[in-house]
Every structure is written in C-alpha cells, then in structure tokens.
Structure 1
Amino acid sequence: MDTEKKQSRWTDEELAASVDTYLKILALEEDGQTVDKPLEQRILQEGALINRTTKAVDFRLQNLSFLFVELGLKPNSYPLMANIGSGVAARVEIILASKGVIDLDDYLPTADEETLNRRTEKLRGKKLLGVPEGIEKPKKVTVTTTSYARSPRIKAWILDNAKGICEGCDQPGPFEQADGTRFLEVHHVKHLANRGSDRRSNAVALCPNCHKRCHHANDKDEFTATLYQKVERLKREQLD
C-alpha cells in the first residue's frame, strides 16, 4: 500500500518523464511486445516521480491517453482519464512538440479565421484519430480588424436587382428573411482588400455557397471568371 506523499503542482520534469514512459509503452505495444505497466510505473516513481503516489502516476498516464485522443494521435492501452486540466494539457503539448510528436502551431486555438482555416486543413490532411472534446469555455479575444466604408445604396441596389436569385448559381436565396426577401450576400468581385471598388460594376448578389466558393474553392478563379461573363454590368478592374 502506498505511503501518502505530499502532492503539489506537477513540474515540467515530472510531466516530461511521464510522457517518456507513455511513449515507451506505446512503442512497445506497437511492436507487439508485452508491457509490464506496474514495472514501468515503479521505475517512474523511483526516479522523476519519487514524490508521487502510484494512484497519481496511474491517473497521469491515463490523462495522457485522453490528451492523445484529443490531439488525434494513437494512444497506448491506458484507459482515458479526462480531467487533465487545461494548464497541464498545454504544458504536455509543448513537451510533445519538443519531442517531435506534434507541431504545436497546428493545434493552437486562434480567433483569426484565416489562420483557423489553414490549421484546420493541415490537420484534416493528417487523418487524425479519435473524437476531440474541444474547448468548453473558449477565451474571448479582442482583435483589431480592417473594415471598409461601403455605400448602403449600392448594397440595396445589388440585392434589389437580384430579386432573391443568386447571380452565381441562379437559385433562390437559401431562406426567407423576416421582411419576406430571400437571403443573399453582396460579394465584391475584385476584393475590397485588393483595392476593388464598391460600385455596381464590381458587386454581385450571391448565396452563401457561391460567396464562399469565390473565396475558398479550388476553382475560385474560374468561377469568378464566369461571373464576369454572366453578369453584364460587371467590369474587370485593373490589377494592382
């Protein structure tokens, strides 16, 4: 039976030693070898985790299984123990990054949509395992953004002229709004960020799908070209 030992905040050295043991067990299991987990835990307790009880060590290794699943990595055979704590999880992720197990930047939460999309696509390409729990209480982030002063008359004209029909796919807007009109979005064919104008000759009314297609699809340039051919009022503006 374990002697109760004083419990305190886990040090980075303790967490790193736990990760090393966890990865060792994972490698042995993947190699088809039988693992003596109690022995591995005793080795930990005789070294870096000398001030931790067997129960605490066991829980920590189970925490690592949970975190591995959260990160989309293959865990070893330890059961999943969810209450790892966000602070400890963040420190363990740094340790995993230092050992080349993960690229930490891929997993960092972000309030920037472009960065979020880039990280999402990179992780999707890795075919991650498991089902992540996510962030229970996302942090509120105040960001400074660049906006452009736009003419309400132009927006109103573009939407009224479309009469609820997307100028990209010729389908009605996806739903009816409180005022009875179909929902569409105004898209500037040459983006305002690229010094495009806020004029009728540079704006179209699109459904959300076509609008996203103009920004994110692998055929966005080709699709944009069809808008110039299809919508007579559009005029190509000089490239910067």
Structure 2
Amino acid sequence: MPAAPAKEIKLDQGGLRLLNLLIAALPQVRPGDPRTFIGYKQVHDRLNLQQHGPTYGESLKVQGLNSLADWTASTGKPGITGLIIDKEKLTPGPGYYKLFKRPLDDYAWWLAEIQRSVEFPWAAHIPKDISDEGTDDSWSHEELRAAVVAYLDMQNKERAGTPFIKKRYYDELASKFGRTSKAFEYRMQNISYVLTIMGRDWLTGLKPAKNVGPNIAPQIEALIAEIEGKPSAPVVAFEIAVRNELRSKELPKPPGNLLPKSSTTTVTQYQRDPSVKAWVLKKAAGVCECCQRLAPFNGADGESFLEVHHIRKLAERGSDTVTNAVAICPNCHRELHYGERAKEVVEKLYQQVLRLLRE
C-alpha cells in the first residue's frame, strides 16, 4: 500500500511577508557569492520586526522564517530561506540543512538551491488564500510614512503634468518593506479615501478604498499634514467612527455629551483676496455655476447665498484667482469636496465655465 502524501504546510502571514522580501532581493543575488545574500539583522530591520529571542535568527524563526522554510520543504519548492545567512560565517544556520535532511557542510547543495530560487517562477506559486496586506497593526509607522510620501509625490507630478509610472513606486516600496506591490497599491487607495474625508482631491487611478482601520486612517491624516507642512484640524478619526456606527444593524439612541470637551488645534489658513470672491459671486448673479439652479436661500444680508470654491484647492497649491474659482450652491460645494463623483463634476465645470484654467 503506497504511503500517504505528506500534508502540505500552510504559509502564514509572516512567512508571506518574508517570502516577498526574499523574492524582491533575488535580482541582486549572485548564487555563487554568499556575500550578496542577506543577513539575519538585515531581514529583521527591513521587515520592521520587534525582537523576540536572544538573537535575530531566533526572532525571525517565530516571525515567518519557520513558516516559510516548512512551506517550501513540504511543497518541494526551492530552499529560498537559504538566502538568509550569518554574515560573519557566510552560511545559513544549521536548521536550514536539518530541515532538508542535508549534511551541515553541503555547501554545493545549498548554493544550488539558491540558483533554483533565482530561476523559480515564484509569482505563480504565492498562495492566493492569504493576503500580505495584513492587519492594520502590522503596518509600521515607517511603512505608512513611505506610502504617503510616494502618494504625494505622484500627486504633485500629476498636477505638474510630469509623466510617472505608479507601479514603479509600488515595486520600490515592496522591495524595501517586504510586502507585495499590490499591498502598497491598495494602501494608496486607502490614502485616497482619507483624502476624501478631509475634503481633498485624490490621485487619478487610485479610487478610494474605504476598508481602512480606525487606527491607521488618523495616522495617514497626520502624516499628510506633517509631510506637506500644513497643520490641520483632525477630522478623520471622528468621521471613520461615524461610518462604522452607520454600518451597525441596530443603533440605539445615544445619550450624547451634555458638556462636550473642547480642544485647541493649530491649523493652516490661506490669505484670500476679497475682490476675487466678490467678482466670482457677482458674475454668478445668484445662480450656481455647477448645477445652474438659483441659490437655495438668501443670507442675513439679503444676498443670494452661494459659496466660492477653488477648483484646485488652496491646500493643494491652487491659486486664489477668478480662473480657479466658481460660485456654487452648498450641495454642489459638498459634492466637490466629498462626493464619489467629484472628479467628474470638476471636468463638467471646466467645460461649463469658460473662464476656468487648469492648474
């Protein structure tokens, strides 16, 4: 009776992150030269892991190394974990050889496994039933900051009309942090979502993805303000909490706060030209330049109430000029800041209001 096949071991999330890091390192590897391989500490640092155990090697074992090694061995894949070595001895730890039932000095076999790893089509074999996006808690502050920096850089290039390729940004981040390019692309879509909550424009092609955790979204908001050097009143944590409550099947009537606490925040304000606002309002003559309807009510001064909106927002380095401003009703104004069709409405305004110039 034939022996039953060995049960395939599942790759966990830590193992997948480590695998992606090693795959990204393969182009720089020369299989016959261990000096081009990666040290235990290097891997630990690149993955932003906390140390668990007396050595970096022991720490890696419980944070993906054992999972990845067992998975490759049980599925007959190349021993790619042999890329991780003691940089002084220039060899993997004894556990590597033991797992594959090889003598501790079988260097020829080890280097042949690295050659196999370089040639192996890893993309076709990465498990599809787990994701390296991970829980929000698994994303370090450094990873989030790098993603926001890359996003804002692409957005600035888009506004300047400078060509760029998004995938190159994703690939560079993936290589640095050991996640897939797809994970960073999705995180960029989370950044787009945070920008919409802030009433800001988002990068074309990165449609807002709302599945961002309540711990990560405020961090993204704070990073945007820090990197742009424009302090703003935080709104994202509150709005995310509201959206999460709205998803509840049952929402009991809340007691609220009889004496809400106050806080003081430093914000960035822009000095505007009152003559620009007056000119735009006068030109509109009480009719919304977006929906073409009359102003919904008169203000306390008896004048038709319309709001002036900058097509390229001042927070995004837009000018305070009549060629970048329109008079619109409150509904259209909110849609331009927060609507899922905001980009379409902007294009409509550029076609409809002939004085507008793209910036």
- Structure with a larger share of its residues in helix: 2
Unaligned runs of 5+ in 2: 1-212, 217-232
Question: Structure 1 residues 104, 208: closer, same or farther in 2, change over 3 A?
Answer: closer
1:52 paired residue number: none
1:104, distance to aligned residue in structure 2 (A): 8.3
Residue 144 of structure 1 aligns with an amino acid whose one-letter code is T
**Residues 138-168 of structure 1: CA distance to partner in whole angstroms, max 9, x if unpaired?**
1111111110010000011011111111111
Asked if 1:158 corresponds to 2:269, the answer is no
Distance in 2 (alpha carbons) for counterparts of 1:177 and 1:104: 38
Give the Cα separation in 2 of the matches to 1:105 and 1:137.
26
1:123: how far off?
A: 2.4
1:206 aligns with 2:328: yes
Residues 220-239 of structure 1 aligned to structure 2 (within 5 Å): 220-237=342-359
Q: Deviations over 1:184-215 (max 9, x none)?
A: 11100001111000011100001111000001
Structure 2 Cα separation of the partners of residues 206 and 104 of structure 1: 33
Partner of 2:290: 168
Aligned to 1:82: none
What is the alpha-carbon distance in structure 2 between the residues aligned to residue 205 and residue 215 of structure 1?
Answer: 14
Q: Partners in 1 of 2:287 and 2:297 — Cα distance?
A: 11
1:112 counterpart (225, 230, 234): 234
- CA distance in 2 between counterparts of 1:114 and 1:207 reads 25
- Counterpart CA distance in 1 for 2:238 and 2:296 is 26
Q: Return the TM-score normalized by structure 2.
A: 0.35
Structure 2 Cα separation of the partners of residues 209 and 154 of structure 1: 22
The aligned counterpart of 1:28 is: none
Change (3 A) 1:232 1:126: same
Q: Corresponding residue for 1:191? A: 313
Cα drift, residue 127 of structure 1: 3.5
Which amino acid letter does the alignment assign opposite residue 214 of structure 1?
Answer: L
TM (norm. structure 1) is 0.51
Are positions 1:131 and 2:259 aligned together? no
Kindly, what percent of the aligned residue pairs are identical?
44
Gap runs ≥5 in structure 1: 1-102
State the Cα distance separating 1:121 from its structure 2 match.
1.7
- What whole-Å deviation, never above 9, does each CA across 1:162-190 have from its counterpart, x for those lacking one? 11111111111111123321111110000
Letter in 1 for 2:245: L
Q: Deviations over 1:92-150 (max 9, x none)?
A: xxxxxxxxxxx9869xxxx7334322321232123342111111111111111110010
Is the partner of 2:287 in helix, strand or coil? Answer: coil
Letter in 2 for 1:158: V
SS in 2 for 1:186: strand
Q: State how 1:39-188 maps to structure 2 within 5 Å.
A: 112-188=234-310
